Structure 1
Amino acid sequence: MQGALFKHTTSADGTPIGWRQLGTGPAIVIAHGAISTGEQWLPVAQILAEHYTVMLVDRRGRGLSGDAADYDLSTEVADLDAVLAAAGPGAAVIGHSYGAIIAAAAAAAGADISALILYEPPLPVVDLIAGDACTSCAAAVAAGEHERALSIMLTDIVNMDEPDLADLRQTPMWERMVDLVPTLPRELRAIDGLVGDLDRFTTIQQRTLLLLGETTAQYQVDATRFLVERLPAATRVEIPEQAHFAHVAVPGTVADAVRSFLGGA
C-alpha cells in the first residue's frame, strides 16, 4: 500500500494490535465492522488523508493484529484505547457496524475522543440482532462451512437480498470475508449480549455524527434513532440510495460527510 505506514501497539491483555497509517494532521482512528479489516475503509481513508492522519486499525483476530482465547466487548474497547494512546490526545474515531459499538462503548467509558462518527452500530434496541441466526452461524463455523456461515449472516442479519448476495459472491471481497468468518460468532454473541445494557451508551458526551444508509435494515434505523434521541450532541446524516456498506460503494460521499462534520467543530 503506497504511502502507508504499518504500526503496532500492545493491548491490555498483551495482544498486538496493528494499523495502517496514512496522511498528516489531526488523528482519525477507524474501527471496522465484522468480517472485514481496516483495508475495507482504505478508499475513505485515502481521501481523508489529505487533511488528517488516518489510522486504519485491524481489529483483533485478523490482518495486522493478534488474538487471544478470552474475548468480550471490553477486550476490544481496551484495544481501541491502546491505539488512541498511540494517536495522542483528542483523536476522532470512526466506527462502522460492530466497530461502531466498540467506538461508542469506548467513548461512554471516558476514552479521550474529540468526536465520534458512528455508521450503523447494531444495538439491540428492539430485539436481538442475531438471535437464532447466531446459533446457526456458529454451528456452520464449527463444521468448517464458512461460506454457509457468511451467507446466514448476510441474509438473516444484514438482510441482504439474494441477487445482491449472488453479486457479492463474484467479487474478491467475498473471499476476504469468508477468511474472517471464524471471528463472527463471538461478535454476534457480544451484540446480543447488550440487551438490557444499552443505558451505558446514553452517557456519551462527545459530539457524534450518526451515519445511516437510506435503504438499510430496520434494526439499524431503530438503533440510530435510539442514539439520536438520547445523546446531547448528536447529528444524523442519511446517505441516499445506500445501505450498510456506503464506505465501499460511495467512499467520497462518506468522506465528505466526515470532513464536513469534523470541520464544523
Structure 2
Amino acid sequence: MGTVRSSDGTTITYDKIGSGPPLILVDGALCYRASGPNGGLAAELADRFTVYTYDRRGRGESTDTAPFSREREIEDLAALIKEAGGSVHLYGISSGGALALEAVNAGLAVEKLALYEIPFVVDSSRAPIPADYESRMESLLAQDKRADTVKWFMRAGVGLPGFVVAMMRFMPAWSKLKGVAHTLPYDVAFVAPFEHGQPLPADRWTSSVPALVVCGGKSPAWMTAAMRQLAEVLPAATHRTLEGQTHIVKPAALAPVLAEFFGEGR
C-alpha cells in the first residue's frame, strides 16, 4: 500500500502489483480497493503490467476535502500518474470510465485509454434520469439517509427494478454500499450530463489518445447503444463487444482484451 498527496491535500491510497508498463484502474460508483471488481482484474493483468488500483477520494483509506468538484478527482489521478512514472495506460469501468475519459480530455499523460460500459443514456431504449435526480440525492444525503440515497441511485440512476433494489438491503455488501453513499454525487457529476436520452455531442471529447470502448454482449440495449455511440464520437476509438458478459464483467474475460490493446505499439 502507498499514498500520494493530491493538489488540495487529499491523501489518495493505492496498491501496486506486477511488473511492466504502468496501468491505472479506475473504479465506478460505490467501489474501492476492498470492494469492487478492479482487484481481480489487477491480478489478471499483473503478469504484463505494473497495475495500480486506488481508493477514489472519500472511499476506503483515502481522505476527502470539501467542496467536491470534478477537477479534484482529475487532480487525484494526475498525482497517481506522477507517482507511476509520469505516463500510463488508463482503464475505467462504469462511472469510473467517465472520470477516466474526462482526465484524458483534460490532457493528463495517458498513452492509451480503455473504457467499460459508462452508463450514458443516449436514446429512448431506457428512461432518462429524472429532472430532480441530483437534487434529491443531495437532499437525502443532507438528511444522512444513506440507505435511501443508495436506493435512489439504483432505481433512478442505474434503472434497476424496484423489487431488486428492495432485496439489496439483505445482501452482505449492503453496509459497504451505505458506507460510501456520500460519494455518489461524485460519480453522478461525471455521468448525469449525458443521461438524458440525447445523442452524445460530437465535439465534446477531443483527445487523440487511442481508446478502446468495450461493452458486454448480454448487457441491456441502452448500455450497448451508448458505448457504440461513444466509440463513434471519440477521435481515435475502436469498439469491442465481449460476448456473454454483462455490466458485472468477469476479470478473466476482460483482461486478455485489455492486455492486447495496451500491449500494442508501446
Same fold, judged at TM 0.5 (above): yes
Shift of 1:11: 0.9
Partner SS state of residue 144, structure 2: coil
CA distance in 2, matches of 1:157, 1:185: 11
Q: What is the distance in 2 between the residues matched to 1:215 and 1:133?
A: 27
Higher helix proportion (structure 1 or 2): 1
CA apart distance, 1:26: 0.9
Of the candidates 117, 127, 134, which is equivalent to residue 114 of structure 2? 117
Q: Is the deviation greater in 126-135 or in 22-31?
A: 126-135
Kindly state the Cα deviation for residue 131 of structure 1 after the two structures are TM-superposed. Answer: 3.7
- Tell me by how many angstroms 1:175 deviates: 2.2
Do the aligned residues in 2 keep the contact of 1:168 with 1:174 (CA within 8 Å)?
Answer: yes
Identify unmatched segments of 5+ residues in structure 1: 1-5
The two structures, once aligned, show a CA RMSD in angstroms of 2.6
- 1:255 Cα deviation after fit: 1.2
**Aligned AA (1:18):** T
Q: Is the 8 A contact 1:147 1:178 kept in 2?
A: yes
Q: 1:29 aligns with which of 24, 31, 37?
A: 24
Offset at 1:125? 4.8
> Which one is further off, 183-192 or 59-68?
183-192
TM-score when normalising by structure 2: 0.85
Distance 1:218 1:107, change over 3 A: same
Residues 65-104 of structure 1 mapped to structure 2, 5 A cutoff: 65-104=62-101
Check conservation: 1:104, 1:204, Cα contact below 8 A: no
For the pair 1:19 / 2:10, whether they are aligned, the reply is no
> Residue by residue, what CA displacement relative to the aligned partner does 1:237-257 show, whole Å, maximum 9, x if unpaired?
2233433221xxx11011122
Count the aligned residue pairs. Answer: 257
**Aligned residues: percent identity?**
28
State how 1:1-265 maps to structure 2 within 5 Å: 6-39=1-34, 40=36, 41-123=38-120, 125=122, 129=129, 131-162=131-162, 164-165=164-165, 168-193=168-193, 201-246=204-249, 250-265=250-265
- The offset of 1:144, in angstroms, is 2.5
Contact kept? 2:95, 2:190, Cα under 8 Å: no
Distance 1:225 1:188, change over 3 A: same
Contact 2:202 2:233 in 1 (8 A): no
Preserved CA contact (<8 Å) 2:201 2:233:
no
What does the per-residue CA deviation read over 1:146-200, in whole Å, with 9 as the maximum and x for residues that have no partner?
2222122112211223565466444333321121101113432443356899566
Work out the CA distance in 1 between the residues paired with 2:70 and 2:79: 14
Runs of 4+ in 1 over 6 A off after TM superposition: 194-197
What is the distance in 1 between the residues matched to 2:237 and 2:189?
27
Paired AA for residue 106 in structure 1: A
Name the CA distance, whole Å, in 1 between partners of 2:135 and 2:217. 29
Amino acid at match of 2:217: E
Shift of 1:259: 1.1
Matches of 1:123 and 1:81 in 2, distance apart? Answer: 24
| Contact persistence 1:9–1:83 (CA under 8 A) | yes
